[in-house]
């Protein structure tokens, strides 16, 4: 992390504090997130949620509820042994 000192209008600072509190994040995190929208090197939360959604859907689309380990094991024990 790096430190940054800025001069900002008091009204903008108060609005930023309120928005940070609304999002349940620190003012530092709010400013960092806001600045990161101008840099493509770091994925944003919006991008992360899209990635998580794609990972959940898989390459074949939404497969529904995945079986538990116990269900897989129970199915495996029913197979005929060769």
Give a yes or no: residue 3 inside a domain: no
Give a yes or no: residue 16 inside a domain: yes
**Domain assignment of residue 50, given as a range:** 10-78
Say yes or no to pLDDT of 21 above 90: yes
Number of domains in the chain: 1
Give a yes or no: residue 59 inside a domain: yes
Residues 38-78: pLDDT tens digits? Answer: 766 655 666 677 777 777 766 666 667 778 888 888 877 77
Write down the pTM of the prediction. Answer: 0.46
Give a yes or no: residue 5 inside a domain: no
DSSP per-residue letters across 21-79: HHTTS-HHHHHHHHHHTT-TTS--HHHHHHHHHHHHH-TTS---SPPPHHHHHHHHHHS
Give a yes or no: residue 43 inside a domain: yes
């Amino acid at each position: 992390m790096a430190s940054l000192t800025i001069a900002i209008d008091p009204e903008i600072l108060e609005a930023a504090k309120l928005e940070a509190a609304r999002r349940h994040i620190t003012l530092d995190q709010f400013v960092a997130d806001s600045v990161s929208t101008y840099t493509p090197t770091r994925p944003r939360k919006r991008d992360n949620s899209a990635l998580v959604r794609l990972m959940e859907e898989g390459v074949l689309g939404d497969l529904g509820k995945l079986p538990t380990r116990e269900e897989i094991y129970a199915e495996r024990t029913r197979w005929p042994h060769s």
